[in-house]
Structures are given as structure tokens and as C-alpha cells.
Amino acid sequence: MALSIGSVALDATSVARAFLGLGDETQRAIVRELRLPRAVAAFATGGALALAGALLQVLLKNPLADPYVLGVSGGAAVGALTAMLLGALAWMVPAGAFAGAVASTAIVFGLARGRGAWSPTRLLLTGIVVAAGWGAVVALILSLAPEAQLRGMLFWLIGDLSAPPAAWTPLVAVVLALVVAMSFARDFNALARGEALAASVGVDVARLPWLLFALSALLTAVAVTIAGAIGFVGLIIPQAIRLVLGNDQRVILPASALGGGVLLLIADTLARSVVAPNQLPVGVITAMIGVPLFLILLSRHHLR
């Protein structure tokens, strides 16, 4: 469906034909070179964000944690906006975002580790403070930026999938992260019940948090690199899954990845077709679909 809707509407047969390399050249180009990579990128971004959110909620033992709470998106934003401000080449913006995300993660990781003592509170606090610092730098860049660049910067900050730098690599990264996370899913279930109990039943409570941290930071970095700072998906999707399917990480992790992917795919399809040929930033649409959807879920189910 995401492949057929757009500025140029295509019916299912044309999509299938174009997909298989048949049909006229324009349709082939639209489907295989424009819409398919974009749909894959959207799915991967949503999956990465929701999976990162689910993992961070276990790490911080807080159902309100989201992928950006550790300052990853702030670092990415500073990297990307600096690249834009300096008038860098197009490919350097995502490169800047990725570098910023990784740098921010390293800072939070290093500071939170301190002298070996580790606690969710310390990590959360470090992340929030570092994120606040990035926020100030972003505001500084925005105020220095020439007017012509502001729109692009704003789109990046809201989340924009109009020019994904890669499609299949992020999807592979999400699938790999999911496989790794799933192999520890039962350990996560125990860890969510507190370190003491987890340690009693044989979970490696010293190392497992770092795996969670590394996986979620990597996923978030991938997501912000492709699409900028799309808020909300990482917080709401795992919550919605938990409301409907319960609290077993073996269900939550794959369902979150899938749910986040689907939400962003739908949102992106709408973002590029509602006011076609113009495009909306996808971050606006995810919130517009996600907020009412989540509120309906919340009112229907007893909060679990």
C-alpha cells in the first residue's frame, strides 16, 4: 500500500509489475528507487525507535523511558545541524547525526559509569542533563543559522524521511538487534523485577544493563541518522503493546519492533501523500496518529 500511494497513484498491478521489473520505466523508478527504499527506511526507523524504547524501559525500570531520554537525539541533532550550518554536502548531515549520537552515548556512558557504581537513576540523570546541554546548543545553532536553512533544520528536528541516507542497512541492524535482544528476553523479564531477584535466579546483573544500553543507543543512533528526531514512537508503541499483550519481553520486543515499523510506514505514506506533491515532516503525522490511538487504548484497557 505504501508503494502505491503517493503523488503519482499506482494501482496494485502496476506496483507488482514494477516491482518485478516490468511495466514502464517511470513506474519502475518510482516504485523501486523512490518508494521501496523509503518504505523500508520508514519501517526500520519505526522499528528501531520502538525497540530502543522497549529496551530502555527495562534498563531504567521505568515505563516512561523513551529512546531520547539518554540524550542520544540531542547529540545527533547538534551533529546534523552543525553539518547543515556549515553548508556541508548532503551525505554529511546523516554522518554528523550519527557521529553526534555516538559521541553523546559515549559521554553519558562514561559519566554514568563513574567509579564503577551503576544505577538506573544515575544513568537517567546523566542522560537528562546531557540532553539539556545539547538542547541549549541546538537553540544556539538555530539562532545563528541563516533564514534559508531554518526550514530544513526544523524538519530535521521534527523528524523527516524525505531523504533517507540508507534503507536496507538500518533494517538489517534492527533485525540483528532484535535477535540479540530476544536471546536475553527472559533475562530482561527477571531484570524488570529488580536486580536482587534477577541475580538470585542467575541473571548476570552486572553486564546485562550494558548490553541493554549498547543495543538501545545503537538503535536510536540508527533511527535519528535516517530520519532525524522522531519523537513519541519509542515511548508509545511499547506502552500500547504492554496494554494489549501483557508484559512478557519475549512478546513486547518483537511486537514493538513490528508495531513501530508499521506506525512509521503508515505515517510516512500519509506524510508524502496528504498534501502531495508537498511533503509533511513524518514526526508530525506519527504524533497525530499515535496520540488518539494511544488515548483510545488507554481508556479501553485497564492500565496494566
Closer residue to other proteins, CB minimum distance, 26 or 247: 247
Asked whether 219 and 73 are in contact (CB, 8 A), the reply is no
Considering only 91, 110, 139, 250, the residue that binds other proteins (CB under 8 A) is: 250
3-state secondary structure of 159: coil
Q: Which of residues 38-57 bind other proteins (CB under 8 A)?
A: 57
Q: Does 301 help bind other proteins (rule: CB under 8 A)? A: no
Using CA atoms, how far apart are residues 31 and 12, in angstroms rounded to an integer?
Answer: 11
Closer residue to other proteins, CB minimum distance, 150 or 304: 304
Provide DSSP, 227-242.
HS---SHHHHHHHHHH
Q: Which residues of 176-185 are buried (b: 16+ CB within 10 A; e: fewer)?
A: ebbeebeebb
Q: Does 183 help bind other proteins (rule: CB under 8 A)? A: yes
Closer residue to other proteins, CB minimum distance, 87 or 202: 202
Q: Does 247 help bind other proteins (rule: CB under 8 A)? A: yes
- CA atoms lying within 13 Å on the CB side of residue 192: 18
Q: Which of residues 191-220 bind other proteins (CB under 8 A)?
A: 192-194, 196-197, 199-204
Annotate each residue in 215-244 with x if it binds other proteins (CB under 8 A) or - if it does not, as one string.
Answer: ---------------------------x--
Instruction: Report the nearest approach of other proteins to the CB of residue 184 (Å).
Output: 8
Using CA atoms, how far apart are residues 233 and 185, in angstroms rounded to an integer?
Answer: 21
Annotate each residue in 58-77 with x if it binds other proteins (CB under 8 A) or - if it does not, as one string.
Answer: ---xxx--------------
Report the candidate in 167, 165, 205 with the shortest Cα–Cα distance to residue 184. Answer: 205
- CA atoms lying within 13 Å on the CB side of residue 250: 6
Considering only 41, 107, 131, 190, the residue that binds other proteins (CB under 8 A) is: 190
Considering only 32, 248, 276, 289, the residue that binds other proteins (CB under 8 A) is: 248
Q: Which residues bind other proteins (CB under 8 A)?
A: 57, 61-63, 183, 186-187, 189-190, 192-194, 196-197, 199-204, 242, 246-248, 250, 303-304
